[in-house]
C-alpha cells in the first residue's frame, strides 16, 4: 500500500538526496557499534570521534536538533540505540576493529618512509590511487603525520568508508565538509577542482581497499560521474 | 619526469608523483607567488587555477595534473604590466602583509571567469575558503568589484584606463 510502513525493513537505511542513509539496524556498516551517547553526539553536535561527521542531508537535521531540548535529543538517541539491536558477536570484534584502524592509519604511506601496503586481492585500487592519497589526503589522514591540529576520525572507523556503496565517501571527497556560515565545526576541503573523475575514482577505491575490511566497491566510477556537479558548500 | 603545463608553458618536472603542486611551483619552477600557509587545504594561501577552477595547490599531487592547465598569479601579469585583477588590488590597496593575496587573486580570477558580474554576496560566498589574517576583506571585495568593471570595459572596447569610481 502506498505510504505504508514496511516493518520488516525498519531502520534498514535507504536513499536521501543521492546520499546513502546507512542502515541503523543490525546491518549498520559502522565498524564499532553505536552507543546511545555516541548517537547523541552525532545528532546534537554533528560529530562523533568513533564514527564520523554529519554531512549531506544530515547537516540540516543537526542544525535543527541544535534548537531542540537536550533531553529530547538524548531520548531519540536512547531509542535508536535500543532499536539497533546489534548482535552480541559484534561487541567482541571491537578490539579487532580498533586494532585494524590503528594499523592502517599509522602504517605505510608510501613515500612517508615506510613500505606500501599491498593491494588486497580482488580489488581495483591502483598505484595512482595511492599517489593521490599520499599527496592529497595523508597530511591529515595519517596518524604518523604528527599534526595535532587536525584529528580526523580514523578512516577505518568511519561509516562512509565501510558503507555498502561509495556515494557518501564520494560526496565528501568531492565537496569537503564545511561548517554552516558563522558556526564552528569540522572542516575538510573538497577536491572537485583538484582531481579529475578518474583520480576521484582512484583515490576512493584506494581508501576503501586500504581502510575497510568490507569487500571492494565496483561501482565507484558510475557514482563519481553521477555525483559530479552536485557539489554543495 | 612529469609533464606539467604552467601558465601556458610546458614544464617537465623531476619529482615524486605524490609531491604537492605547491612545492613544485616554489622549489622547482621558482614561481613563488603561491604561498604555504597551512599545507592542509584550510587557508587558501596556495590557491592557483587548474583548468579554470580555483584549487589548493598544497593538497594537489602533481600526479593529478598531466594534461591540465595550471595558472598561477605570475600568469596574470607582471609587475610592469599587471593584469586587471592585480591592478585592481593595487588601486584598492587591498593588501596588508600580502601573504594571502596571491591566493585571493587566483580565487577571484576563477570567479570572474565564470561570472563576470558577481554581487558582493557572490564574492563573499566564493572567497569563503580563503582566509586573510590581517582583515583586508573589505578591500578585497572592493578590488574584485573593480576588476569586474575593468574587465567588462576592456571587453566593450573602452580601454583599460577607464575611471571606475
Ligand atoms: S597552504 Fe594550501 S590551503 Fe593553506
Ligand atoms: S593581507 Fe595579510 S593575510 Fe591577508
How many Å lie between the alpha carbon of B130 and the closest alpha carbon of chain A?
Answer: 11
Mean pLDDT of A84-102: 64
Q: Which residue's alpha carbon is at the smallest distance from atom 2 of ligand 2?
A: B97
CB of residue B23 inside a 6 A radius of ligand 1: no
Enumerate the residues of chain A whose CB falls inside 8 A of the CB of residue B20.
135
Q: What is d(CA A17, CA A168) in angstroms, rounded to the nearest whole number?
A: 11
Enumerate the residues of chain B whose CB falls inside 8 A of the CB of residue A192.
53
Mean pLDDT of A65-90: 82
Q: Is residue B162 part of a domain?
A: no
Instruction: Yes or no: say if A204 and A133 are a contact pair by the CB < 8 Å rule.
Output: no
Distance from the alpha carbon of residue B108 to the mean position of ligand 1, in angstroms: 16
Instruction: Yes or no: say if A40 and A74 are a contact pair by the CB < 8 Å rule.
Output: yes
CB pairs under 8 A between A and B: 67
- pTM for this model (two decimals): 0.85
B51-69 in b/e burial notation, b at 16+ Cβ within 10 A? eeebbbbbbbbbbbbeeee
Whether residue B62 sits in one domain with residue B89? no
Residue A179, all three cell numbers: 561548517
CATH code of B100's domain: 1.10.150.120
Mean pLDDT of A59-88: 86
Whether residue B27 sits in one domain with residue B69? yes
Q: Closest Cα partner for A135 from B70, B158, B55, B131?
A: B55
| Predicted local confidence at residue A3, as pLDDT | 56
- pLDDT tens for B9-65 read 999 999 999 899 999 999 999 999 999 999 999 999 999 999 999 999 999 999 999
Number of domains in chain B: 2
Phi, psi of A60 (to 5 degrees): -65, -40
ipTM of the complex: 0.86
Give yes or no for B129 touching A (CB within 8 A).
Answer: yes
**Ligand 1 pocket check: which of B20, B38, B107 to mutate, most ligand atoms within 8 Å of Cβ?**
B38
User: What ranges do the domains of chain A cover?
Assistant: 12-227
Residue B160 has pLDDT above 60, yes or no: no
Whether residue B60 sits in one domain with residue B96? no
Q: Which ligand is nearest to the CA of B95?
A: 2
CB of residue B39 inside a 6 A radius of ligand 1: yes
For residue A146, the number of C-alpha atoms closer than 13 Å in the C-beta half-sphere is 1
- pLDDT tens for A7-26 read 556 667 777 778 898 888 77
User: Could you tell me the CA-to-CA distances from A111 to A107, A133, A197, A198, B16 in Å, in that order?
Assistant: 12, 11, 24, 22, 8
- pLDDT tens for A149-199 read 567 888 988 999 999 999 999 999 999 998 777 777 788 999 999 999 999
Q: Closest Cα partner for A31 from A172, A166, A162?
A: A162
DSSP string, B86-141: HHHHHHTT--SS-TTHHHHHHHHHHHHHH-SS--HHHHHHHHTT---TT--HHHHH
Q: Which of B17, B50, B74 is the last residue of a domain?
A: B74
Enumerate the residues of chain B whose CB falls inside 8 A of the CB of residue A137.
59
Mean pLDDT of A44-59: 88
| Predicted local confidence at residue A115, as pLDDT | 43
CATH code of B17's domain: 3.10.20.30
Q: Is residue B119 part of a domain?
A: yes
Q: Which of B28, B43, B74 is the last residue of a domain?
A: B74
Q: Closest Cα partner for A205 from A104, A124, A113?
A: A124
More confident: B156 or A75: A75
Average pLDDT of chain B is 93
Q: At what angle do helices A94-106 and A197-211 cross, to 10 degrees?
A: 130
- pLDDT tens for B76-98 read 999 999 999 999 999 999 999 99
Show the domain range for B98.
84-155
- pLDDT tens for B122-154 read 999 999 999 999 999 999 999 999 999 999 887
Q: Which residue's alpha carbon is at the smallest distance from atom 4 of ligand 2?
A: B132
| Predicted local confidence at residue B32, as pLDDT | 97
- pLDDT tens for A96-147 read 777 777 766 665 554 444 344 444 545 666 778 888 998 999 888 876 555 5
CB of residue B25 inside a 6 A radius of ligand 1: no
Q: Which of B43, B74, B105 is the last residue of a domain?
A: B74
| Predicted local confidence at residue A93, as pLDDT | 67
| Predicted local confidence at residue B148, as pLDDT | 97
- pLDDT tens for A195-225 read 999 999 999 999 998 888 899 999 999 999 9
Q: What is d(CA A203, CA A214) in angstroms, rounded to the nearest whole number?
A: 16
Whether residue B66 sits in one domain with residue B88? no
Q: Closest to B61 (Cβ–Cβ): which among A135, A196, A233?
A: A135
Instruction: Yes or no: say if B70 and B7 are a contact pair by the CB < 8 Å rule.
Output: yes
Amino acid at each position: 500500500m502506498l505510504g505504508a510502513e514496511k516493518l520488516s525493513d525498519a531502520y534498514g537505511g535507504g536513499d536521501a538526496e543521492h546520499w546513502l542513509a546507512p542502515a541503523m539496524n543490525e546491518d549498520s556498516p559502522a565498524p564499532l557499534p553505536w552507543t546511545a551517547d555516541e548517537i547523541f553526539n552525532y545528532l546534537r553536535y554533528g560529530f562523533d570521534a568513533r564514527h564520523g561527521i554529519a554531512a549531506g542531508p544530515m547537516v540540516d537535521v543537526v542544525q535543527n536538533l541544535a534548537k531542540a531540548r537536550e533531553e529530547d535529543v538524548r531520548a531519540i538517541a536512547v531509542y535508536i540505540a535500543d532499536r539497533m539491536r546489534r548482535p552480541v558477536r559484534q561487541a567482541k570484534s571491537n578490539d579487532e576493529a580498533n586494532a585494524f584502524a590503528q594499523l592502517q592509519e599509522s602504517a605505510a604511506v608510501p613515500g612517508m618512509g615506510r613500505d606500501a601496503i599491498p593491494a588486497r586481492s580482488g580489488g581495483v585500487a591502483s598505484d595512482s590511487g595511492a599517489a593521490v592519497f599520499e599527496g592529497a589526503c595523508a597530511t591529515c589522514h595519517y596518524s604518523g603525520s604528527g599534526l595535532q591540529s587536525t584529528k580526523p576520525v580514523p578512516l577505518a572507523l568511519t561509516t562512509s568508508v565501510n558503507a555498502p556503496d561509495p556515494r557518501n565517501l564520494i560526496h565528501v571527497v568531492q565537496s569537503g565538509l564545511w561548517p554552516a556560515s558563522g558556526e564552528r565545526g569540522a572542516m575538510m576541503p573538497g577536491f572537485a577542482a583538484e582531481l579529475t573523475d578518474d583520480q576521484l575514482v582512484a583515490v576512493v577505491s584506494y581508501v576503501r581497499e586500504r581502510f575497510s575490511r568490507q569487500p571492494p566497491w565496483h561501482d565507484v566510477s558510475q557514482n563519481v560521474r553521477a555525483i559530479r556537479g552536485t557539489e554543495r558548500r | 619526469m612529469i609533464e606539467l603545463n604552467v601558465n601556458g608553458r610546458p614544464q617537465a618536472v623531476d619529482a615524486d608523483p605524490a609531491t604537492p603542486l605547491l612545492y613544485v611551483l616554489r622549489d622547482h619552477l621558482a614561481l613563488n607567488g603561491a604561498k604555504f600557509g597551512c599545507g592542509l587545504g584550510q587557508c587558501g594561501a596556495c590557491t592557483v587555477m587548474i583548468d579554470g577552477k580555483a584549487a589548493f595547490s598544497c593538497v594537489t599531487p602533481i600526479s593529478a595534473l598531466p594534461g591540465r592547465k595550471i595558472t598561477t598569479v605570475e600568469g596574470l601579469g607582471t609587475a610592469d604590466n599587471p593584469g586587471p585583477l592585480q591592478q585592481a588590488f593595487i588601486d584598492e590597496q587591498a593588501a596588508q602583509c600580502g601573504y594571502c593575496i596571491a591566493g585571493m587573486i587566483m580565487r577571484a580570477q576563477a570567479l570572474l571567469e565564470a561570472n563576470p558580474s558577481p554581487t558582493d554576496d557572490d564574492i563573499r560566498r566564493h572567497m569563503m575558503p580563503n582566509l586573510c589574517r590581517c582583515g583586508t576583506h573589505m578591500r578585497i571585495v572592493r578590488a574584485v568589484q573593480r576588476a569586474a568593471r575593468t574587465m567588462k570595459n576592456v571587453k566593450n572596447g573602452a580601454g583599460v584606463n577607464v575611471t571606475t569610481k
